[in-house]
Structures are given as structure tokens and as C-alpha cells.
Structure 1
């Protein structure tokens, strides 16, 4: 029997229990007074490369049937004028008429990025996060009522999957919906970072906080554990929530988005995107290079999670906190690997148990220690200075004038600077800083349309 149980009053699980129920008619009906917008962040190589282009074209052909979408924003990174012209041809061939091209390397959006930089918004790190952040601004300027995100490399995409994602937002008025799906092709397991990092470290932290009675932290961890696939990039968000959410430029963006939903949303759904295999691009591990592949992804996720708990939520950590977390994490990860090995054997799947164990020991455990050391540094130094200046009478006069307060302020500042989580302000805050940003975006869109 299919699973249709509900595990929490906080999150609604929307299961796919039937293949026959077509949601398109209802979504189209509601689109008469709502404006859902879809964002597709794409590298130019995802449509100018002969191997990738059929995948991209299939996505656009499927979207031709999504008549409820007010606009589709394709944010193009690493693209030339010739690439943009090619994209326009592809769009014309599919018959789509509601697509806007956000050419990030073009002169008009280049000026918008410069405007944001001049207001103190650090967008120097190129990539999907920067691309999507600008697309959010475009959607807001277009008066969207909700926004969906879809990757450009999904090999198995069908329009009905997107219908399911938007349905709780458009029909039930949920604020946030996140897709989940199986990361297996029937031959082996994928989704290594979710299986070997996210779930085990959350379980390890749950044990740690349960023992120490940290109820506030437990609530966040329990919330994150409710999601079947925390790292899925396919989401739909009500525009009011989107305006208030902070965003990240690095691989920790999915975790930060869930933490922001925990803090700011009360109507949340996770949607079974498909019951079949869901296939897209896979990252390499890059064990020897911490700045690439799954190694970089793991470090960013750990930094984002621990930064949220320690810096933002005020978790007090002892000198042995991270050592204990690593030990508990390794124990949990070993248990999980055993379970995956047994599942693989029971289903006749290939499973590289040695490779999974190496990933845990050589990549993730080291990443936790490295991030922990960076978070501990300002706290340890400030504690030493506070003790030293309090114990010696030579500092009494300086303490009267705020020396110890200055040490604490420096500690708080360094906590943010030591871990480069690259978090961005909400668009609500950005609109306060740059009141004319909406009009500037509209001008850029119109100029792009006219080819000026």
C-alpha cells in the first residue's frame, strides 16, 4: 500500500497516489487572478552544447502545456550574445510566448548587478545563487504572486511534476512547497550528500541537543528531519514569503531556505514530484580539493547549518562540542551505510560501501572539524581576552570605557566573517535600500525585449 501518512502538524506531505488526476485545469482556472512565475537558472552550456540541448528543449516543450504560468524567466549565466540569440531561436521553435531572458553577462543586467554592489550587496561570487537571486527580483518586479524554481538539467522532466509543485501554493494557499523524489535509477543509489551528510549530521545533532536539553535547537533539527529530500532544488514560494526570505550564494542555499521557512512560514508542504526515477547532473566528490564538487558542497552545507545554530540562534558551544558532534556523526553515518548496503543487497543494486565510508571519513568528518575550528576561533580568543583584562588591574580604566564590550562586539563580528556563508538580505530589505530597483529591473527587461 502506498504511504500517505502525515508525520507532523507543521508540514503537509502531498503524495502522488494516482497517475490519472490532472491538476492543469484547476491551476489554469486560478491563474485568472494569480500570477505564478517559473524561474529556470541555466548555464549557456545547457542549451548550446549538443549533448545537453535535447534535455533543455524537452523541458521547454513540456512547459508549453503549463498554461497557468504568467511568465518563465530563464536566467542565463556564462553566455555570449550568440548564445542568447540561439536561446531565442529555441524558444521560438517550442512555441512559448511568455519567456523572459535574463542575460546576466549582458549590459543591462550587468548594470543592475553593479547597482546592487554599490548598495553593499556582495554578489561577487558567480553561480546559480547569484543568478536566482536576480531572478527573484525580476519576478517581484513582474508582480508575481508566487515563484517556482526548476533546474535546467532535468533529464526526466514532465509538466505534471511542476503542476504538483505549484498546486498547494496556488489552490490551497500554502506559503512554501518543496519537491522530493527518489534518487535511484533502479541500479544504484544517488543523493550521496543527503544520505551521508545531511541526515546523519541532523541525527547526530538531535542526539546531542536531546542530551543537553537544547529544546530551541531540537525544534529546528526536528523540522529539517521531516523533509524527505532537504537538498532538492525544486521549490515554489508565495511572493510575500519570498520577499522576506534571506538567500545564500553557496551550496548551503537549500538548508538556509528551509531554516528561513521554519522561521517565517506556517503553511508548508513537501510534494512528491514523481514516483519514478528523477535524473539530473551528478557532482564529483573531489576528495583532494575542498573547493570543488561534493567536497565544497559538504563544507558549505555544514557551515550554513552550524552558522544558523551558533551565530543566529545563539547556541553556546563548549570546547569539545565539535569533537563530540564528529564522533556521533561518524557513528550515525556508519549505521546508515550499513542500512543502505543491506537495502542495496535486498534489491540487487550496486553499492560501493568502501567508497561511501571513505567519503564520510575523508571528506565530511574533516569538513565538520574545519568548520568547527573556524567558528570556535573568535569565541576562544575573546574568552581569553575577557579573562585577562578582568583579572589584571591595569585594564580597569579601559574596562570602564567599554573595552570588554568591544571585545564581545569583535567576537560577534568575526563569527560572521570567519565562515563565508555568503548570505544575502531579503528582497524586502533590498527594496528599502534601493527604492527604484523595481523600475530599473522593468526597464532592463523592456530593453532586452527590444534588443537595445
Structure 2
């Protein structure tokens, strides 16, 4: 297995931005891209979502297909978002692009998709109303209707004032520009909050320490595990929802079912015989914040998913004993001190604030959850399988195609096509 990771950095100067735009505009027709923005109903009600829609409608010239998906919404609320937020930008999208794009609206709680989920669950297990479901269904639409498209994902709750056209452009350029020959793109950023620019990303920092400690303890256990942890540690921000992938890659991509959606996105490129990966810097970034309980739940799901991946790499044999698991957490304390000093220096250099004491307090709660999840993992080392790649299951693909075509026939799917606004 061979992978190549390069950091493209940030589109920082006018010249860099202009070149990226020109390359995308030149090749976007030949190498089409779908932009998927999976959003919960709560986030869609926020003005941040309006800002994202408006910027993509007026400044995005390189997307061939827009996939707006709404989750956890009843029919009435989904219609309100459609009528009040998405329909008003269709004319702008039509006017400001040379690509004659398609605009798709996927209501994940539509009756036809609900029927699909009911039919699919006996085959693949529970399909929770989580981000992974939205990403999986959006990619399923692309696989069925636009299989040659690359696909880009971005969150729908990026804070107004920090979001710009550079977000989708940074992700799209490596996939569209033929000189780059890229299969997978992942963004990183500085997660900052408020006037004091407090550095967030606590779960990301916790796992950076944990991965380093695991590598020290488990690196000699199995070369695949050592390579896997080394691979993950090459990424500055593990859990960014801003990712992109080529069409052939996306056709086989699997997705986690919940908070593990981002961490499981690493497993697929790592397993490929050859994968060209690019990292892009989106600068300062912020979106919806979870309380400590939500972060603890996130840690639990991510940790379990990572253990399941490592379990597979050791050919179905247990990776960690209780003794080794505790050794990892003991070593964690040493790496924690080193990382805290590094983050404090980084924040001083960049004008951010950093609450190291709060980080240490959170890490104690996170470690408690890790211990709990490890005990659960011993009972069920396989964990929950991710949603499968669409190309791997003709049965699921045919079932989804039937549901989406039923939505399309009722005027519930395609909003703009061939220059014709259909709502």
C-alpha cells in the first residue's frame, strides 16, 4: 500500500486565489464536482446557513452540482427551509455560473427515504439520524446520478464572518486541476471562538495525544497498526467535516454512522494500494459548540471506531490488553505536558487564547470514557460496521435509486436542472 500526503497550505495571496479560480474554471467542465452540504434542521434555521448559501450562489463558479441535504426535519420544516432559504438563491446560482449546474435538495426524512432505511436496516444494521447518514445518502445520490463527479463535503454551520468562497475553492482545486492528480482532500484549520479567539478543538487535541501514546505502546505489536497511527498523525485536524474525494474513490467510500464519520474516513485511503492525498488550510474557523457531555460522547464513538480499525489490522485478534490500554493512558500524561506547551506557544504566536487548565480537566473526563469504551470493546471487538460503499452493494444502490427517483417524480429532489428552475 502506498499513499502520498502533501500539505498545500492556505490560499493566502490574491495571486494564489486567482490562479486557483482560473484553474477550476478552466477544467471544471471536464472534471465535474458535486458540493454536498449536509445540515440538521437546527443549523439550517441559523443565519450562518443563509451566509453559506449566499456565498456559494454568488461566488462558486466551479461546482457542477449542489447537494443540499436536511436531516431531522419533518415535512413541514423541510418545506420551510426549501421555500425560505434555498429557492431564493436558485436564480443567483443559475446566473453566476457557466456550468449550467444541477441543484438537489435531499430531505433525509422524506417518506421514500424512510422506506429505504426500513428496507436497508435488516441488511446493514441501524441507520441513526446522524451526520454519517447524510453524508452516505448524498454520496449515494452522486453515485447513482453523477458517478463521474468528484464530491466535496462541508459543514452547514460555519460561523458567518469566517466562511468565504475559499472554503469550497480550496477543497475543489486539487480535485479539478488535472496537474494535481488527487484522490482525497482534507481540510484543517484553527478552531477559534469569540473576541478573545479562544482555541477550541479539544477533542482533536485529546486524540493527538492519545494517538502518540498508542503508537509508542502498540507500534511494536503490529507493523500495520504502527503504519496506521503514523498515517493518522500526518493530519493536523482529524475531525474536520470539510473533505473531498475523486469520483472513483467516492464510489467505494464508506462512512461512519455518527461522530466516527470523520475518523473512519481515514481507514479507506489507508487501505488503498495507491492514494494521493492533499491537505488544505482554511485558516480561522468556528461552528456550533457542544457541551462537555457531547464531547465525551464524541470521544467514546471515535475511540471505539479507531479500536475496531486496529482490530482489523491485526487480522481479527485483540490489539490491546487491559494492561496495554492502561499503559497508553499512563504515557498520555507525558505527551500531554509536551503538547500543552506547544499549543500555548502556538497561541501566543497567533494571537489566540488557550485554556490549558480546562483542557486537562476535559482530558480527565475523556479518559474516563475511553476506559469505559475499552471494556465495552472487549465484549464486541468488531464494533459497528460503517455504512458500505455504494459500488459494493448493487442491492442497496437499486433500493436507493428507487427512493430517489420516486422523490424526483414528485418534484421533491431536483430544484434546478439544464437551466430550468423546477420549483
Q: If the length of structure 1 is used for normalisation, what is the TM-score?
A: 0.79
1:371 aligned onto 2:379: no
Pair 1:446–1:141, CA change in 2 (3 A) = farther
Residue of structure 2 equivalent to 1:408: none
2:184 to 156, 161, 176: 176
Hey, what's the Cα distance between the residues in 2 that align with 1:204 and 1:223? Answer: 14
C-alpha distance 161-343 of structure 1, shift in aligned 2 (>3 A): closer
Q: How many residue pairs end up in the alignment?
A: 391
Q: 1:442 to 1:36 in 2, by over 3 A?
A: farther
Structure-2 residue corresponding to 1:281 = 288
Q: 1:353 offset after TM fit, Å?
A: 2.7
Q: Unaligned 5+ residue runs, structure 2?
A: 95-101, 415-421
Match of 2:388 among 417, 421, 425: 425
Structure 1 Cα separation of the partners of residues 128 and 23 of structure 2? 40
CA-to-aligned-CA distance 1:216-260 (integer Å, 9 cap, x gap) = 211111111111111111001112112222211121221110121
Counterpart of 2:108 (choices 104, 110, 116) is 104
Contact 2:69 2:134 survives alignment (8 Å): yes
**2:82 counterpart residue number:** 88
Is the 2:252–2:389 contact (alpha carbons within 8 Å) kept by the matching residues of 1? yes
Deviations 1:174-230 (A, max 9, x none): 1100011112356321111111x21101110121134x3632211111111111111
Given that 2:3 and 2:276 are in contact with CA atoms closer than 8 Å, whether structure 1 keeps it comes out as no
Aligned to 2:236: 228
CA distance in 2, matches of 1:265, 1:240: 14
Partner deviation per Cα, 1:315-346 (whole Å, 9 max, x = no partner): 54344111111111233223322433455467
Matching of residue 248 in structure 1 with residue 256 in structure 2: yes
Match of 1:218 among 209, 212, 226: 226
Q: Distance in 2 between matches of 1:345 and 1:70?
A: 42
Pair 1:352 & 2:345 matched: no
The match for 1:31 is: 28
Question: TM-score w.r.t. structure 2 length?
Answer: 0.85
Q: Could you report, residue by residue, the CA deviation over 1:385-411 in whole angstroms, capped at 9, with x for unpaired residues?
A: xxxxxxxxxxxxxxxxxxxxxxxxxxx
Note if contact 1:165-1:273 (Cα within 8 Å) is conserved in structure 2.
no
Q: How does 1:273-312 map to 2 (within 5 A)?
A: 273-275=281-283, 277-286=284-293, 293-312=294-313
Q: Counterpart of 1:63?
A: 56
What corresponds to 1:147 in structure 2?
151
- Helix, strand or coil: the match of 1:230? coil
**In 2 relative to 1, CA 79–372 (structure 1 residues): closer, same or farther, beyond 3 Å?**
closer
Q: Is the 8 A contact 1:255 1:301 kept in 2?
A: yes
Alpha-carbon distance change, 37 to 121 in structure 1, aligned in 2, over 3 angstroms = same
In the TM superposition, residue 265 of structure 1 has moved relative to its aligned partner by 6.3
CA contact (8 A) 2:48 2:158 kept: yes
Q: CA deviation at 1:107?
A: 1.8
Matched, 1:46 2:43: yes
Residues 193 and 294, structure 1, Cα contact 8 Å, conserved in 2? yes
Q: Which runs of 5+ in 1 are unaligned?
A: 1-7, 287-292, 378-413
Check conservation: 1:311, 1:415, Cα contact below 8 A. Answer: no
Q: 1:236–1:85: structure 2 CA closer, same or farther, 3 Å change rule?
A: same
Distance 1:442 1:70, change over 3 A: farther
**Post-superposition shift, 1:62?**
1.1
Deviates more, 1:178-187 or 1:62-71: 178-187
Structure 1 vs Structure 2 CA RMSD: 2.5
Q: 1:208 and 1:343 mapped to 2: Cα distance?
A: 28
Change (3 A) 1:335 1:160: closer
In our comparison, the structure showing a higher alpha carbon Rg is 1
